[in-house]
Every structure is written in C-alpha cells, then in structure tokens.
C-alpha cells in the first residue's frame, strides 16, 4: 500500500501517522482493531480501579500495587507540569530497572509528554547526542549506580544544553533547583491539572537505536504503534494472564524491556518483576522467589542462566515462556532449556527498535522450527517480504533484505528526514537492513546484515556465513567477522575471535580447519585478531563498527 511522504521538517514537533501512512492504511489498522486508541494512562486507570491492591511492579527493594503506582505517577506528572513540561515535550530518563522507571514512564505518558529512555551503560558522548537530537527539556536519572555518577553527568550536560532545564533525581542527593523523585511523586494532584489523555497517534516514545552502526537514531513510536506490538505479544505470543509475573532483566530503557517488561503486563493487569543488574544466579533466585512465568532476553542470557542452574538447586517450574532475541537458538540450547525449566519453552523472536515484534515462533511449533528459524509473522497485521537490490521480491528460499509492513512500525527517525526516506519505501515497507530467507511454509531465518557483506574482488561474501564456519573451530568461543580494506581486492575478511580458555588459535589454525571442511578459498579469513571480549551494545548486539576500526588498525 502506498504511504504518505516521509519528509519531516527538521524541527517538526507534530510528527503524526499521516507523515507515515496513507488514509487507507490508517483506516485498515483501525477497522481490524490493530490500532485501538486509548493510552498507557488509561490502562493504568483501568487496573487501579479494578484491582487496586494487585502488585504491578517489584524490583527486589520496592513493591507497588496498581493504585499506589497511579497515585505516584500522577504526582510526578503534576510536578513536571509545574516545571514547565508540556504535551509533546521530550523527557529523557536514564534509570536502571527500578520501580521508579515505571512510575516515570507512566507520569510522562499521562501528561502527553514523550519518553526518551536512555540505557544506564551510556555515557556523556552518547547521552549528549540523545539529549541534543531529541531536544529534551527534562531528565529523570539517579545518583551513583555501579560506580558511575549519573547525576553528575547530567549536571555537566545541563551547562552545555540549556534546553535541559529540569533534573529529577531518584535514589540520590539533589542540588539546588533539582527535584527529588520521591518528593515530586508525593505531590497532591487534581485530575484537571493533568489534562486530557494524549492523542494515541502523536509521538509517545522515542527509543534510540543501540549503536551497532555508529550514530544512534531516534525511533518515533506512537501509543498505537507500541500498543499494537505489546497487546499482540501479550495475547497471541505470551498468552499473558492476570496472575502472570513477567521477569525483566533486559533494560526497560530499551525496546524489548519496555514493551515486554512494562506494556505486556500492563495490557492484562498482570505483574512485572525487574532486575537491575543481570547476574545469572541472582536471576534464578528472583524467578524462584517471585514465581516468574515469562521473560524476553538476548540469547546469551539463556546460556548463562542454564550454566548457573547446573551449580545450584532452584524451583524454576513457574517459568513457562522465555522469548529469545538477537541470535539464533541452537538446537542443543532449546533441548537443555526444556530439561532445566520443566514445562517451559524457549521461543525465538526477530524484531528491531523500529518495528518491535516482526516474527517469532508460536505455541505448537516443533523444536526444529524453534531452533532452525526465527518464526513466522509474530502478529496478525504484520507482513514480511524479502526483496533484492532492485526492490522486487526474491523467490522462496533465496536471500533478500527483510522488509516489514504493518501497524507496529515507527513513524520515522526523529529530526532525520533523510534517514527516514532512505528506510521507508513507496509501498510503506520498512527496510530493516537485515538479510533473511523465507521457506515454503513462511518461516523466516535471519542470515545477516545487508551491510555485513564483504565484497572481495567483486564477489559478495556473507559475514554470517563465515562466522558460522569459524565458530565451529574447537578453540573459538565467540567470533565476529568484519571487512577491512585491501588495495587490490577492495575488501578482505578479518575474524575477531574470543578464544576458549587456554587456547590461542592462529590464522593458519583457522584456515587449515576451514580448508579441511571444503570451504571456498575466497571465504577464508585473511586476518585474525584475538580479543578478550567482543564490544557489545547494552541489548547484546556486537558493535561491528568498533571492530571495523580495529581491523583497519584505527
């Protein structure tokens, strides 16, 4: 279906669905119930009235029921309004997985401001980019967390960014002119002061990409685009019930954690339990103590949890569903999970900040599908197509760029019309930059990144393919392959390897091993770098741009 022009004025504050979709698409989304309107604040009101004493959020130190959470969110919302925050203004929030994040999000949502979440691992350069690009007028943060002074960083940035006029500090000391989080929440509030619930088609959330490809982009979601994915995941994938407890160790300041850890339980009036620092043994203790039933994390979390389960006895029988994103699920991992989490199931999900949930496996999918694919379209309304360089669909079984069409896509990139126009095509499809194959049953397998192609002497080499070959070497614990420049051939492949303990493989070791397996010569790595760990984003993705600099010797 055609889309409206993606051109967005650089200073536009009125980005709406009409900048992204044509009228026919918008009508279809509403007719089918994919967009149902409402708001996060309306959902909170619903459960605070129906089940006021049911616990909504806990984090190991704080527990809040629905009624108390609403009272505190409304108080904070009123405090922000009194500081000059208005509907449509952006409010940044850099907090760990604490109850205060949930309060802050729902306060911002209630007054019609736009949440700009920032993960706690980001420091001055990344945070300054987000604040400047978003034009945030207020920020909610903490004092010292894991040895870093977040409040101090924001105070320094305030001097560089005058628009950032308000700081709210949670679990930390305030300075003159700043708001203490708890005091701001205790404000007496009248509903009239908070104003009407916000328009579900206006910006609700700007989540910045995690930085696998250098400069982070601000992905603009409305309530409707975020709610589509959250509601669909709650009902069609997790099959969430009010008695469920979602366990969330992934950062709620990023897409997976926010949607699954906050919006999925909010959809049905269930509960969420947050873990601020991932440590697998502590994670298992929390699952047992709070009787957690479902979660979503990057694949490495699963491996660490299973390793921890070998060394300590825990009752993990409550966990029935673990959604796994960011990397394929090896069959051995899925089998081991079924043995450790009795009655539980490990399911793959493919998504991105821009499109949230794209594909996943569902109840009834056999092990070979869960371990051998990234599933089928996650939700009713999502269409996945694979296209070639000419933009035409590729035949079944052939590799192409993964494109998403549906009600869960971003409106665009905040204040970046050129990047928006380069990503959304004339048919309204969002080009993900990821490569994949669809089989004759409609199951997708993500095979790599469009930019993760090494062009060696005119021959395209799939990085994911080479990584798969190298990872089979017994001395290799982890590997990432990137291109480095060559005067004669244009590009060559560099393998960046984390060796297994006690191992120091050489380039000759790897290439001899691969030759012995019949791998084509042009696909062999021609440079090897050994590292202690791969640079990762906070969401578990390898930062390939860092490795390219390393391979070039920058």
Q: What is the pLDDT of residues 189-238, one digit of tens each?
A: 888 899 999 999 999 999 998 655 557 899 999 999 999 999 999 999 99
Percent of the chain, pLDDT > 90?
A: 75
Query: Across residues 307-314, what is the average pLDDT?
Result: 90
Question: What is the DSSP-derived secondary structure letter of residue 521?
Answer: G
- Work out the pLDDT band at 14, boundaries 50, 70, 90: low
Q: What is the mean pLDDT of residues 123-139?
A: 94
Residue 11: pLDDT band with limits 50, 70, 90: very low
pLDDT band at 554 (very low <50, low <70, confident <90, very high): low
The chain-wide mean pLDDT, for the chain, equals 91
Give the least confident one: 8-12, 343-347, 442-446, 519-523.
8-12
Q: How confident is the model at residue 259, as a pLDDT?
A: 98
Domain 453-552, CATH homologous superfamily name and number: ANL, C-terminal domain (3.30.300.30)
* Cα 512 to Cα 132, 519, 527, distances in angstroms: 50, 10, 14
Q: If you ran DSSP here, which 8-state letter would residue 156 be given?
A: H
Distance CA 301, CA 286 (A): 14
In the prediction, which pLDDT does 345 show? Answer: 92
Provide DSSP, 305-351: HHHHHHHS----TT--EEEEESS---HHHHHHHHHHSTT-EEEEEEE
Residue 479 tokens read as 């590997």
DSSP state of 5: -
496-536 pLDDT, tens per residue?
Answer: 999 999 999 999 999 999 989 878 788 899 999 999 999 98
Least reliable range by pLDDT among 162-171, 240-249, 518-527: 518-527
Q: At what angle do helices 507-516 and 463-471 cross, to 10 degrees?
A: 100
pLDDT at residue 160 is higher than 70: yes
Query: How far is 412 from 17, CA to CA, in rounded Å?
Result: 10
Q: What residues does each domain of the chain span?
A: 33-229, 453-552
The fold adopted by the segment(s) 33-229 is Rossmann fold (3.40.50)
pLDDT for residue 489: 80
pLDDT band at 40 (very low <50, low <70, confident <90, very high): very high
Taking the C-alpha atoms of residue 63 and residue 45, their distance in angstroms, rounded to an integer, is 18
Q: State pLDDT tens for residues 111-122.
A: 999 999 999 988
Q: Residue 50 above 90 pLDDT? A: yes
d(CA 209, CA 45): 31
Residue 527's pLDDT is what? 97
Q: What is the pLDDT of residue 325?
A: 85
Answer yes or no: is pLDDT of 372 > 50. Answer: yes
Identify the pLDDT of residue 448. 80
What's the whole-model pTM score?
A: 0.85
Q: Which pLDDT score, from 0 to 100, does residue 458 have?
A: 64
Quote the distance between the C-alpha of residue 15 and its chain's center: 22
Q: Which of 20-24, 43-47, 49-53, 68-72 has the lowest mean pLDDT?
A: 20-24
Across the chain, which distance is largest between two alpha carbons, in Å?
A: 74
Q: What percentage of the chain carries pLDDT values higher than 70?
A: 96
Minimum mean pLDDT range among 69-78, 457-466, 518-527 = 457-466
**DSSP tag of 163:** T
Mean pLDDT in residue range 412-424: 93
Whether the predicted pLDDT of 2 surpasses 50: no
Evaluate whether 299 touches 327 at the Cβ level (below 8 Å): yes
């Amino acid at each position: 279906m055609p889309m409206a022009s993606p051109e967005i004025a650089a200073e536009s504050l009125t980005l709406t669905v009409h900048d992204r979709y044509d009228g026919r698409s918008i009508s279809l989304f509403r007719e089918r119930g994919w967009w149902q309107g409402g708001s996060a604040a309306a959902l909170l009101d619903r459960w605070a009235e129906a089940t006021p004493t049911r616990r909504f959020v806990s984090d190991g130190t704080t527990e809040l029921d629905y009624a108390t959470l609403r009272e505190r969110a409304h108080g904070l919302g009123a405090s922000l309004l009194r500081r000059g925050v208005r509907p449509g203004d952006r409010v940044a929030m850099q907090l760990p997985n604490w109850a205060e994040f949930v309060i802050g999000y729902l306060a911002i949502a209630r007054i019609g401001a736009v949440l700009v979440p920032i993960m706690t691992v980001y420091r001055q350069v990344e945070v300054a980019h987000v604040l400047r690009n978003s034009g945030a007028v207020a920020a909610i943060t903490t004092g010292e967390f894991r040895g870093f002074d977040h409040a101090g960083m924001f105070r320094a940035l305030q001097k560089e960014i005058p628009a950032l006029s308000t700081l709210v500090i949670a679990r930390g000391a305030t300075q003159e002119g700043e708001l203490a989080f708890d005091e701001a929440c205790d404000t007496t509030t009248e509903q009239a002061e908070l104003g009407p619930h916000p328009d579900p088609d206006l910006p609700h959330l700007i989540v910045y990409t995690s930085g696998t490809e250098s400069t982070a982009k601000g992905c603009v979601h409305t309530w409707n685009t975020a709610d589509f994915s959250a509601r669909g995941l709650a009902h069609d994938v997790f099959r969430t019930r009010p008695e469920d407890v979602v366990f969330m160790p992934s950062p709620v300041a990023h897409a997976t954690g926010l949607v699954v850890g906050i919006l999925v339980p909010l959809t049905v009036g269930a509960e969420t339990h947050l873990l601020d620092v991932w440590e697998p043994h502590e994670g298992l203790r929390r699952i047992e103590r709070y009787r957690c039933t479902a979660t979503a994390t990057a694949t490495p979390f699963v491996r660490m949890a299973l390793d921890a389960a070998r060394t300590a006895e825990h009752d993990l029988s409550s966990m029935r569903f673990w959604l796994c994103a960011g990397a394929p699920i090896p069959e051995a991992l899925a089998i081991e999970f079924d043995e450790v989490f009795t009655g539980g199931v490990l399911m793959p999900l493919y998504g991105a900040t821009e499109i949230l949930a794209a594909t996943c496996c569902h109840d009834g999918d056999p092990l070979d599908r869960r371990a051998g694919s990234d599933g089928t379209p996650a939700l009713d309304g999502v269409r996945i197509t694979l296209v070639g360089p000419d933009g035409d669909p590729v035949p079944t079984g052939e590799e192409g760029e993964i494109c998403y069409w549906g009600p869960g896509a971003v409106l665009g990139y905040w204040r970046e019309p050129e990047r928006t126009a380069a990503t959304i095509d004339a048919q309204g499809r969002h080009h993900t930059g990821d490569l994949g194959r669809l089989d004759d049953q409609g199951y997708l397998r993500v095979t790599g990144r469009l930019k993760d192609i090494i062009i060696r002497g005119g021959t395209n080499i799939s990085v994911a393919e080479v990584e798969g070959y190298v990872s089979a070497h017994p001395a290799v614990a982890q590997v990432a392959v990137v291109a480095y420049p060559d005067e004669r051939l244009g590009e060559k492949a560099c393998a960046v390897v984390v060796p297994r303990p006690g191992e120091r493989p050489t380039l000759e070791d790897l290439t001899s091993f691969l030759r012995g397996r019949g791998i084509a010569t042009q696909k062999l790595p021609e440079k090897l770098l050994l590292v202690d760990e791969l640079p990762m984003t906070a969401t578990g993705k390898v930062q390939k741009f860092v490795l390219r600099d390393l391979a070039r010797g920058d």
